[in-house]
Structure 1
């Protein structure tokens, strides 16, 4: 993601507005930490996806994922990971590689990246090494952590359908991350009802999405016109999120100086945004939580005249 800094001029008046975009989660293996704002803005429009909580540390999240996969393999089941195509898929591959290298997972663990978009994104990652973290680029000179021995990338539909014949022992990564569409819905249909399998969610799940319904404990979910009973083990690992957690959001804002106003967007109106707003109150920031379609007067001085 990228931030956008606007310098707005209206006669003699000038206003600097910074749109945060998605603020990255620092300390990740593939990408560098989020860059600081290039200049102090007057108004900040910032995301608050995780305004009410922090994430688990990266290594703890990797350990949790590897353990979930290992236990599922011992049961003879499959692991289904609904996966966002950009960054998340690559980080999950890296995490699986870490588990294999540590001896916690089989050397030739069958892993299916069943997402044409994620496959293309992985190729783009490797083709643009200048955008990657320096330590990861150094690692690439010795071996490619994203090319596991048992990895199979499936672009065409027939190959994707064939995966559903596998009854156990495989890790299946497919989009979409919230299970609102894509091939993962087919894999959920074939695996969700079996108690030996595991479904591992590694990203944000918005209210009303199938992913959120499963995470919240739904006993059955409707897929392709059928009610599928949920018997698989459900795991939620929020440390893989590409969004900054509460502490990292505040650290990013502090690097913006002292803006006149902070507009909170891209968050939960009932939890994340109000919780982060309460934190901003304690920090002395003037903030606002705009509603959908609400007009915003950027210059407070104009409002006072």
Structure 2
């Protein structure tokens, strides 16, 4: 019966990361995506909480694409007992081999590094979320399927994948389950996206789940040539300053787009052929997959641009460290939000240099280091060290792999009629709300829902969705700016603020007052523990 179809949002609801939706009908359970939460430390703790479902009871996963916020918890899912197929496009399956393995290595190395920090001496050691071996095991359960081809991921459930125009292999997911017709957008690409045609999928659904990453933002829709002109100006300005140009990048898609444009600019002699270092082994592997599918991609008529002589792929850590002594170079390094990987040591060595430039070319989630820098922080903490921000901070928004507000509204309009509900997910609250208001004004969907993490909805055929379960407020609270961001901001400015106090006595009074506030919270907590009723066995 159609009334037995339900959906639960386990991630990417009220935030842009951790994509995971669970569909249930007649005892069958299907996940669309199983992604890692990325951003603040508080948000990342959600990756370690128990799954809200039993992995052994999940029958299959349909994966929209290979970005870690959509696939990054698959290794943990498999390690905890999931044995089903992971359905995806062929390019996504090829990319998963490298994306998941790299994620596993990062989990292991980041945990080892955090456990070695002196400020953690005596504390219980962290354990990795999963290992590289877990990641490889997950990739081996991937099952490629061609776009537009019906397949049956679970008995009596039909599905088709449609080009989403976001990254190599990305797809929207059409589902027919229990008499209900659904469409999950996945992440949608913008107009004039390099490599890929614009998103496509059928129209006329009971319910549509659409991303809203840039639901509150309109971008100027530029051609590839216009985009290259903007990049040309940024590179010229940065090199004229005499320092390095450091670009935090996502290893998959953003790196390849930049390499395409830089190669075209070098060949046209519009920028000098200075050394361009791609400091990400994962980016090199992803670039090889792009080369493998070059015959199916747009904008590559000039041959294999990824082999330009100006490009130097940095493979080992020692070579990466040697880049710290360079000046006048272009360095592309992952991760794109500056939360992990080699970009952090490049920031550590370039942020304080007035002649250097940091150029952001991708989305920076709330709570991420990249967002803190972009929002104008004067000092930041990187791996426990305080770093002054003196470099030129620049941003260009012409490389987004996400549809903007106009693109999203056009995509939603093309899916009409929507007989039941339109769900807006994968967006921070302001973005989702802005898109909701506009979609409502255009009459897109009988009801428009902006779900929160943990909420469950019944999905009747031809009727609006009905919420049947609320989420956990504690989990939902983790999606915003966390205390560690506020602490880092406070701590990095504390000495300066104390220095500004007129005399030593007043400065000491300020320190004593801060200590007294902290002591009052500790005492209140101890008092609550003493006064709480003890459990006495019957």
TM-score of the superposed pair, with normalisation by structure 2: 0.52
- Distance between the aligned counterparts of 1:284 and 1:18, measured in 2? 18
Q: Which has the higher contact order (CA 8 A, sep 6+)?
A: 1
Of 211-220 and 292-301, deviating more is: 292-301
For the structure 1 residues 98 and 301, does the alpha-carbon distance in structure 2 shift closer, same or farther, using more than 3 Å as the test? closer
Report how far residue 30 of structure 1 moved.
1.8
- The equivalent residue for 2:450 is 289
Q: Does 1:265 align with 2:425?
A: yes
**Contact residue 215 and residue 434 of structure 2 kept, 8 A:** yes
Pick aligned residue for 1:42 from 206, 228, 232: 206
For the 8 Å contact 1:61–1:237, the answer to whether it is kept is no
Which of 218, 221, 227 lines up with 1:54 in the alignment? 218
Residue 31 of structure 1: aligned partner: 196
Do 1:66 and 1:95's aligned partners in 2 also have CA atoms closer than 8 Å? Answer: no
Q: Which residue of 2 aligns with 1:298?
A: 459
Task: Name the structure 2 match of 1:113.
Answer: 278
Alpha-carbon distance in structure 2 between the residues aligned to 1:302 and 1:79: 49
CA distance in 2 between partners of 1:183 and 1:91 (Å): 20
Q: Which aligned pairs between 1:97-176 and structure 2 lie closer than 5 A?
A: 97-106=263-272, 108-133=273-298, 136-140=299-303, 144-166=304-326, 168-176=327-335
- Aligned-residue offset at 1:103: 2.5
**Counterpart for residue 224 of structure 1:** 383
Give yes or no for contact 2:457–2:465 (8 Å, CA) kept in 1: no
Hey, what's the Cα distance between the residues in 2 that align with 1:247 and 1:231? 36
Residue in structure 2 matched with residue 80 of structure 1 by the alignment: 246
Check 1:189–1:39 CA distance in 2 against 1; reply closer, same or farther (3 A cut): same
Task: Give 1:302 shift.
Answer: 8.4
8 Å CA contact 2:215–2:435 kept in 1: the answer is yes
Does the 8 A contact of 1:3 with 1:18 survive in 2? yes
Is the 8 Å Cα contact of residues 192 and 231 (structure 1) preserved in structure 2? yes
Any unmatched runs of 5+ in structure 2? 1-169, 468-538
Structure 1 spans left out of the alignment, 5+ residues: none
Is it true that 1:196 corresponds to 2:361 in the alignment?
no
* TM-superposition CA deviations, 1:143-198 (whole Å, max 9, x none): x32223221001111111111111x2110001000000000001000001011110
* Post-superposition offset of 1:32: 2.1
More helix, by proportion: 2
Partners of 1:114 and 1:3 in 2: CA distance: 31
Taking the aligned partners of 2:194 and 2:424, their CA distance within structure 1 comes to 28
| CA drift at 1:61 | 3.5
Q: How many residue pairs end up in the alignment? A: 291
Counterparts of 1:164 and 1:63 in 2: how far apart (Å)?
29
SS state at 1:238 partner: coil
Q: Considering only CA atoms, is the larger Rg found in Structure 1 or Structure 2?
A: 2
| Alignment partner of 1:236 is 2:395 | yes
Name the SS for the 1:160 alignment partner. helix
- The range that moved more, 42-51 or 250-259, is 250-259
Summarize the Cα distance change of 1:282–1:76 in structure 2 as closer, same or farther, 3 Å threshold.
same
Structure-1-length-normalised TM-score = 0.91
**Cα RMSD for the two superposed structures:** 1.7
SS state of the match for residue 280, structure 1? helix
Matched, 1:7 2:176: yes
Alpha-carbon distance change, 98 to 129 in structure 1, aligned in 2, over 3 angstroms? closer
SS at match of 1:152: strand
Quick one: structure 1 residues 19 and 215, their matched pair in 2 at CA, closer, same or farther if it must change by over 3 Å?
Answer: same
